[in-house]
Amino acid sequence: MRSRLAPTPSGLLHIGNAFSFIVTWALTRRLGGSLLLRIDDLDTDRKRPDFVADIFDNLDWLGLDWDEGPRNPADLDALWSQHRRLPLYRAALEQLTATPGALYACECSRGRLAHNGATARYPGICRDKGLPQGLPGTKLRYRAPLDAAAGDFIVWKKDGFPAYQLASVVDDEHFAVTHIVRGADLLPSTAMQKLLAAALGYAHFPRVRFLHHPLLIDTGGRKFSKSDGALSLTALRREGMRPSAIYRFVAGTIGVSGAVETAGQLLDAVDERCFDALDIARRGELPLPVNF
C-alpha cells in the first residue's frame, strides 16, 4: 500500500489541504503503507519559495510524517522536483503522440474559452482542424470518448510542460501509488487520468483505490481556496489556532468519538470504516462545514 500527499506550491495551504493530508496520512498509517510527499512544482510561474516553505512548515505543524520525498526545499530542488522527471512525462507524451488520433493540437486561448466558464467541458473547437502538433502557442489535448464527461482535456501545455493530468498519472504510475485520497472537486481529474492510464497501458494505476472526500466549506458556505489567503493555515496559526482544533474537527467529521487532538490519537481511534464512510461514493457529495 502506498499513498501520497501532493501539494502544489502555487499558494498557501488551507484547511481543506490539511483535512485531505490528515486523512491520507491516517489511512496510510492504518494500512501499514508507505507515504510519499510529492510536491507538484511544474508550474514555475506560480511556484514561489515561500509557498514551498509553507508546505514543509505546515506538515511539521500538523505533526504529519512521510516515508519518501523531499525533507526540505533544498532536497526538493536537488532530488524530488517534478522537473527531474520531465523525461518520464516526455516519454508518455511520445507514446500518446505515436497513437493515431489520441492527441490533437489546440490553439484556443484561455480567453476564448472563458465565456464558457473555467470548468466547462471543452467544446471541441480544434478537434477536427488537423493542426500540426508542436507549433508554438499551441497545446495538446487528449481526444476523449464523446460520452466522457470530462471532454477533451489538455495533456501538454503551450509553455512546453505537461499539464497536471499527465504529470499526475505518470507520477502515480512511476511511484506505484495504490491509494489516492482527494477532494470531490477532483472527480473529473480522476476520470481523465483513468483515460490516460488506459491509453498508456499502465499496470498499476487502473488498480488504484480512490477516496473522494466531500469538500470543506466555510461558515458562509464557500469552498476554501488557495486564492483566499485569510483562510490559509498560516493565517489561522497566526490567529492562534492549534493543530488540536483541526484534529478534533477531522475526528468529528470521520465519525471518531472520544478525545482526539493529535495525529497519533487520531491513528489510534480510526478504523477502515471511517474512511469508507467519508468517501462520497458512500455518503454523497454533501460538503463538510468547518466550524472551529
By the criterion CB under 5 A, which residues form the site for Zn ion? 106, 108, 125-126
Closest CB to Zn ion among residues 58, 138: 138
CA atoms of 235 and 12, how far apart (whole Å): 9
- Tell me the closest approach of the beta carbon of residue 3 to Zn ion, in angstroms: 35
- Tell me the closest approach of the beta carbon of residue 132 to Zn ion, in angstroms: 14
- Tell me the closest approach of the beta carbon of residue 118 to Zn ion, in angstroms: 15
Closest CB to Zn ion among residues 126, 200: 126
* Exposure string over 186-203, b if 16+ CB within 10 A, otherwise e: bbbbbebbbbbbebbebe
- Tell me the closest approach of the beta carbon of residue 108 to Zn ion, in angstroms: 3
Strand ordering across the sheet containing 103-106: 103-106, 139-142, 153-156
Quote the radius of gyration of the chain (alpha carbons, Å): 20
Query: How far from 175 is each of 171, 172, 185, 220, 246, CA to CA, in Å?
Result: 6, 5, 23, 39, 29
Three cell numbers at 144? Answer: 476523449
Q: Per-residue DSSP letters for 91-104?
A: HHHHHHHTSTTSEE
Question: Among residues 181, 182, 214, 291, which one has the least CA distance to residue 245?
Answer: 291
Closest CB to Zn ion among residues 126, 208: 126
DSSP conformational letter for 285: S
Range 220-225 contact pairs with CB under 8 angstroms and sequence separation of 24 or more: 221/289, 223/16, 223/185, 223/287, 224/14, 224/15, 224/16, 224/290, 225/14
Closest CB to Zn ion among residues 125, 203: 125
DSSP conformational letter for 76: I
- Tell me the closest approach of the beta carbon of residue 105 to Zn ion, in angstroms: 8
- Tell me the closest approach of the beta carbon of residue 110 to Zn ion, in angstroms: 11
- Tell me the closest approach of the beta carbon of residue 285 to Zn ion, in angstroms: 30
Closest CB to Zn ion among residues 126, 150: 126
Closest CB to Zn ion among residues 137, 145: 137
CA atoms of 168 and 89, how far apart (whole Å): 10
Closest CB to Zn ion among residues 125, 277: 125
